[in-house]
Structures are given as C-alpha cells and as structure tokens.
Structure 1
Amino acid sequence: MKALTWQGRRSVSVEQVPDPAIQEPTDVIIRVTSTAICGSDLHLYEVLGAFMEPGDILGHEPMGIVTETGSAVANLAVGDRVVIPFNIACGRCFMCERGLQSQCETTQMREQGTGAAMLGYSKLYGSVPGGQAEYLRVPHGDYGAIKVDEGPDDEQYLFLSDILPTAWQGVKYADVPDGGTLAVMGLGPVGQFASRIGTHLGYRVLAVDPVPERRAMAERHGVETMDLNQHLKAAMKDTTDGRGPDSVVDAVGMEAHGSPVGKFAQAAVNLMPEKAAQKAMSMAGLDRMNALHSSIDVVRRGGTVSVSGVYGGQSDPLPMLTLFDKQLQLRMGQCNVKNWIGDVLPLVEDSSDPLGVRDLATHTVGLDEAPAHYEKFQKKEDGCIKVVLKP
C-alpha cells in the first residue's frame, strides 16, 4: 500500500509499505477513505523529530471502511463505515471507565512516562503506524472505532477523530459561566471549532489570530476576531468591562508566534544527535509559549485557562506569581475522544450543521500531494487552514 512517511525534519514522502494485518483479536483493519493533516502532525514535521524514525507512517485523523476484523470483534462487520479516534484505548481499564481514554492503562506508554498510545505519533506514544495511508490497522478497534451512517460525505464525520472532540473538551474545561465571554487563542482547526462551539453554547467568543483568512472563516460563524498585536490585553479589557474574558482556550501550543527564545531552543535541539535530542526534549525542552502566556495575561481574575494546544517541554517557565495572584484555574490534556462522542455526534448528524463541520477543509487532495501540503499548511500559505487527504 501507499503511505505518507516521515523521513526527517521538514521531510515527508509517500512510499510503498507492507499492508497492515490483524495482530490481536481486538484489531480492526480499515480501508482509509479520508484522513487529515493535523496541527499536531506539524510538531512531528518540525519540533519532535528526535522521537521519529525514517519510515514512520504519519496521521491520526482517519476514517474508512472495515475490511477485516479480529476474532474478538463482535460489534463491527466488514463494510461498516467508521471513524477512528487518535487515542488507542481499551475501554475497560480504570482510566477508560472514568472517561480518561487518553490515559488508558492498557496502552499507556510507561517506558516513556506518557499516556495512552496514539496513532502515528512517534516513540513518545508507541510508534504505532498512522492513518495517512491506504489501509490502517486499528488496535482495540472493537472499542475505539465509531460506527457512522453510510453516505458519500466523509467530512460530515471525519473531524470526530480528533479536532472536534478536542475543541469540545477545550471549551468544557474552560468552564465558561452562562452568558460569559470566551477568548480563543489561535484559529487553526481546533481554534475554529472551539470558537463555533462557544457561540453554539451561547457564549460571546473573542478569537485571536494573525492570519486574515483564518479570522474571516471564524467571522462567518458569529465569532468576533482580533489580530495578534502588542495591545491584545488592553483590547480584551476594553471589550469586557475592563476585566478580560471569563475563560480562555489556548488552541495554539508549542509553536506559537512571538516566541523567539523558544523557537531558537527548538531549532537547537533538532541539531543534536538523536539520543541527546530526545534527552534534551524530555528533561529540558522549551516550548514557544507566547500563546499560553498571553492566555494567562488576558483572562480575568478568577477565570480559567484551558489548554488544547500541544506542549512538549519539561522546563517551560510559568508565571506562578500571576497564576496565584489572579486566582486562576488551569486545565489541560490530550482529548478523551470517546468520552465526548455522545455530545458531538448529534451535532454532526444535525442537517443544519450547527458547528460548520462542512466549512473547515480548505484543501482536499490525494495522498501523493500530502508532502507539498504539509509545507503549505505549516507556512499558512494559500489560505490553508485544514487539509483532507483522499488515499
């Protein structure tokens, strides 16, 4: 089969690789009909290369058609249409039973000190082959796979694999009071959905992004937008009775604009030999933290900052005096996809499309065009907000 593989920093290529096969009784094999490039994939493309090996298959936002099932899979049949969450979770352990599928104790990567295994996401999370490929083996597919209705429109369901429940969790963790104001830092795919979820739930939403096309997309869904500038705190206060927003979702993460020291540190780590770079990232890594610091800065006293953007550093400085003095709550974590499907699936199936799932993908291309679109997505060129791949 063809699959998109990591080959080095800022280097991915489509290669012929062996077809996946059933390895465990709970496995499922799917023919991938749609998959997407996630902002988190860009972290592997640029920052987290020390944890990748040439030939690793990327991708954690797939859906497709079941072609084979393991002997213990009783709830799926060949021909079923399914969406695959990026978490690999068993559904039966202590953590899964408490809705914390991203911490599944069956697939937890204890040797790395990290949570549940993930599709297509480096040694840190199991080096499991990902879904930017023609076929995909789904470990614990008996629990993870989400069966959806048949039909021609994958985009109605595709974003259930990651970014839609990630945005939903981010907004829920933000604990916005009824009728309150939510700020969203970053209008990439997760920020777009977090903003729309906020307006759907009745909040006033103020979203920040330096890219005009991203702001324009958000504005189509009733979101008030701001450019990223040095007067952000004052602008937020001016529009919220001098207090700041009640809650903030940081939907940017480790590669924020306006973080020159973190950018330099990330570049320096990527020049080290692999083992040294892994140790540096694991023990002393620095993220580009401008988005998180801005979130802490603009939120009102007594408010909540919810972190959906991925961070990977271990020596990231936090303004503890400010956090304590402002009496802030800070919540974060990988999304527990299956925990939120009951909330978001009905909205996806609603014919009125209240979250605008059909108004997110800006580029839909074949798998062979994926390398060029990784670069385009990273550079935010050609109005690129979300890329869907059709293997």
Structure 2
Amino acid sequence: MRAVTWHGRHDVRVDSVPDPEIVNPRDAIIKVTSTAICGSDLHLYDGYIPTMRAGDILGHENMGEVVEVGPKSTLEIGQRVVIPFTISCGSCFFCGKQQYSACDNANPATTSDMSETLYGYPMGSAFGYAHLTGGYAGGQAEYLRVPYSDIGPIVIPDGLEDDKVLFLSDILPTGWMAAENAEIEDGDTVAVWGCGPVGLFAIQSALIMGAHRVIAIDHYPARLALARQMGAEILDYRDTDIREALFEMTGGIGPDACIDCVGMESHGLGIDNIVDTIKAHTFLGTDRPAALRQAILACRKGGRVSVPGVYGGMADKFPIGAFMEKGLTMKTGQTHVQKYSKQLLDMIGEGQVDTTFLISHHASLEDGPAMYKHWHDDQNEYTKIVLKPGMASTTPSRETEHAAA
C-alpha cells in the first residue's frame, strides 16, 4: 500500500509499504477513506518529538471502512468508523476511570520504558506518533490496523459524510475537553490562545458550555476571521499587548479561564520567546511556552488554566510564583477521546456542532509531502487539510464553497 512516511526533519515522503495484518484477536483493519494532518504532526515534521524512525507511517486523525476483523473484534465488515487517536485497552485502572489516554496496557514495554524515564510513568499510546507512544503505524495510508477495535472505533450512522465526523478522531474532543477542563460557568469570560483547529473547537465548545465572552488570540487573519465568525472577540498579538488588552476588556479582573491551544512551538515577539527559540535551535532547550506563560499571567486570581497544547520536554521561566500566589488551577493532558465520542457524535447528528467550516483543502495521499509543507509554511491559507486515499487528482483545490457552508 501507499503511505505518508517520516524520514527526518522536514522530510516527509509517500512510500510503498507492506499492508497491515491482523496480529491480535481484538484487531481490525480499515480501508482509510479520510485522514487529516494535525497541528501536532508539525512537531514531528519539525523534529521536536524524539524516537521517530525513518519510514514511520504518520497520521492519527483517521476514519474508514472495516475490511477485516479479528475473532474478538466487535466491528463488522462494511461499517464506517472513526478511529480515536488514543489507543486504549478499555480494562486497565485508567480506562476504568475514563482516562483513556493514560491507558497502561497499549504501550509496549520496549517503548514505554523510554517515556517512563522522561515523564516518571509510561505514556499512553497513539497512532502515528513516535515510539514513545508505542510506535504504532498511522493512518495517512491506504489501510490501517486498529488494535483494541472493540473499544475505540466510533461507528458512524448512514447519512453523515466523512467531513462531518472525521474530527471526532482528535481535534473536536480535544477542543471539547479543553473547555471542560476550564470548568466554564455561565457568564464566564474565556481567553483562548491559538486559533488553529483545536483552538477553534475550544471556542465553539466554550460557547456551548455557557461562556458569556470568548476572546481569541492569534496572528493569522484567516484564523482570526473564523474565530470571529464563531462568535469570539479577537486580538492579534502582533499589534496588541495581550495582557494589557485582556486587563482592560475584563474591567481589571482578568479572564475567568485561559486555554492554551498553542503548545510547545509558541510564536511571540517577547524576549522570553526569542530566548526559547534560540535554545531550541541550539539544543539547549525543548519547549517554547510563551503562550502558557502569558495565559498564567493574564488569568484572574482564582481562575483556571486549561492546556490542550502539546508540550514534550522542559519549560524555562515558568511563572510558578504567579501560578501559586494567584491560586490558579491547571488541567491538561492528552484527550480521553472515547469518553466524549457518543456525546459529540449525537451533537453532530443533531446539528449542534459543526466541523466542516474548518476544512480548507482536500488532497490526494500522494500530495501528502506537499501538504505538510503548506501546513507548515502557509497556515493562514491552510486551516485544515484532509487527505483522501484513492483520490485521482494530484492538484489540491481550495474548498471555498465547502468552507463557507
């Protein structure tokens, strides 16, 4: 089969690789019909996440048609399913608490030992995301092996096309959990750093959960326009002092909740972010937490900070004093996708949640390397890319009518 593979920093290719096979009774194989490029994939593209190996298949936002099942799978051949990016056994201590991204059984010991050294305990597992998370092949390919297929996959009813449900795999529940972790109360003012896919879904979720005001922070005009379209007030950090603006907009109190949807590769014009960037490029540091620092400093006393943005290592200049003295609460973590699947699928079916506005481009699998470059370099024009295995055209088209729908 054909698959998008990682070969090093800014080196993504489409290779012919062996088809996946059933290796465990609970496995299933799907024929991939849609697979998206995630903002987290750029951390792999930029070489920030360790333990990637040449030839690893990328992609953790996947859906398709079931074509083969193991004897203990609960799926049926022909069903359409969305695959959560988290791989979870369903029976360990953490899965029992619906903390599916912390599953203790899905990450093989040969790889979990590495994450235990880095983080104190083994990480959970994910598709297409380094050997720290199990080394599982991703779904930017024609076919995908799905472990624990009796636990994770979301069966999609007839009448819901791929574009409406694909993001149940990751970014929609990630935005929803980000808002949930912010413990939003009716009348709250919520500030969201980053208007990429997760940020936009966090905005949508916060408003559904009862936020009175959502203030969106970014610098890409198209993304800020989408945030405004969803009902958010917007701030461009290139021409605005964000802390001062938030102070004034909240009558000197500060936002009730702040959500960092940026993560380890924050942009910024401050001296702190310049130093972070130099350290990262000279291998003297890892993460650039400018957005997180700003969120902690801007949040009101007694407020909440939610961090769905991905961080991978150590952060310098963390404002621990402000965090403690202001009495803030922080929640973070990879998304427990399976916890939210049914609720969000029902909301999509009922028209309460829209996901299609985000998609700017559809492209063939063979265009994967070019799409990664666009996703990295042209983020104003490329708000979300969906790859379609088997798509004949090699020229991606701007889905203007679709995005405006």
Task: Report the TM-score, using the length of structure 1 for normalisation.
Answer: 0.93
Residue 65 of structure 1 corresponds to 65
Counterpart of 2:192 (choices 173, 184, 193) is 184
The Cα shift of 1:152 comes to 6.4
Residue 280 of structure 2 corresponds to 266
Q: Does 1:360 align with 2:370?
A: no
Give the Cα separation in 1 of the matches to 2:248 and 2:314: 35
Q: Does 1:246 align with 2:245?
A: no
Gaps of 5+ in 2: 117-121, 390-405
Give the Cα separation in 1 of the matches to 2:40 and 2:348: 23
Residue 95 of structure 1 corresponds to 94
Percent identity (aligned):
44
Mean alpha-carbon deviation: is it higher for 210-219 or for 198-207?
198-207
Which letter maps to 2:27?
D
Mean alpha-carbon deviation: is it higher for 260-269 or for 48-57?
260-269
The Cα shift of 1:333 comes to 0.3
Deviations 1:26-47, CA, capped at 9 Å, x for gaps? 0010000000000100000003
1:73-222 alignment, distance < 5 Å: 73=73, 75-108=74-107, 110-112=112-114, 113=116, 114-151=122-159, 153-203=161-211, 204-222=213-231
SS of aligned partner of 1:184 = strand
The Cα shift of 1:110 comes to 3.1
Mean alpha-carbon deviation: is it higher for 243-252 or for 227-236?
227-236
Residue 311 of structure 1 corresponds to 311
Give the Cα separation in 1 of the matches to 2:55 and 2:361: 25
Mean alpha-carbon deviation: is it higher for 46-55 or for 300-309?
46-55
Give the Cα separation in 1 of the matches to 2:105 and 2:220: 41
Which letter maps to 1:234?
E
The Cα shift of 1:221 comes to 1.2
SS of aligned partner of 1:321 = helix
SS of aligned partner of 1:157 = helix
Structure 1 pair 143–156 and aligned structure 2 pair: CA distance change class (3 A) = same
The Cα shift of 1:220 comes to 1.2
The Cα shift of 1:372 comes to 1.1
Give the Cα separation in 2 of the matches to 1:296 and 1:381: 26
SS of aligned partner of 1:372 = helix
Mean alpha-carbon deviation: is it higher for 355-364 or for 132-141?
355-364
Structure 1 pair 148–366 and aligned structure 2 pair: CA distance change class (3 A) = same
The Cα shift of 1:376 comes to 1.0
The Cα shift of 1:381 comes to 4.4
Which letter maps to 1:16?
S
Would you say the 8 A contact 1:249–1:305 is kept in 2? yes
Q: Does 1:342 align with 2:350?
A: no
Would you say the 8 A contact 2:49–2:312 is kept in 1? no
Give the Cα separation in 2 of the matches to 1:315 and 1:152: 42
Give the Cα separation in 1 of the matches to 2:315 and 2:82: 36
Would you say the 8 A contact 1:260–1:288 is kept in 2? no
Q: Does 1:226 align with 2:235?
A: yes
SS of aligned partner of 1:65 = strand
Which letter maps to 1:110?
S
RMSD across aligned positions (CA): 1.4
Which letter maps to 1:47?
G
Give the Cα separation in 1 of the matches to 2:310 and 2:145: 25
Would you say the 8 A contact 1:8–1:49 is kept in 2? no
Q: Does 1:323 align with 2:337?
A: no
The Cα shift of 1:242 comes to 1.1
The Cα shift of 1:249 comes to 0.8
The Cα shift of 1:144 comes to 0.8
Would you say the 8 A contact 1:5–1:13 is kept in 2? yes
Give the Cα separation in 1 of the matches to 2:380 and 2:329: 38
Give the Cα separation in 2 of the matches to 1:13 and 1:267: 24
Which letter maps to 1:148?
I
Mean alpha-carbon deviation: is it higher for 313-322 or for 53-62?
313-322
Task: Report the TM-score, using the length of structure 2 for normalisation.
Answer: 0.89
The Cα shift of 1:285 comes to 4.3
Would you say the 8 A contact 1:47–1:267 is kept in 2? no
Which letter maps to 2:133?
Y
Give the Cα separation in 1 of the matches to 2:130 and 2:112: 14
Deviations 1:103-144, CA, capped at 9 Å, x for gaps? 111114531213211100001111110010000001111111
The Cα shift of 1:163 comes to 0.3
Give the Cα separation in 1 of the matches to 2:84 and 2:210: 28
Give the Cα separation in 1 of the matches to 2:230 and 2:143: 35
Segments ≥4 residues shifted beyond 4 Å: none
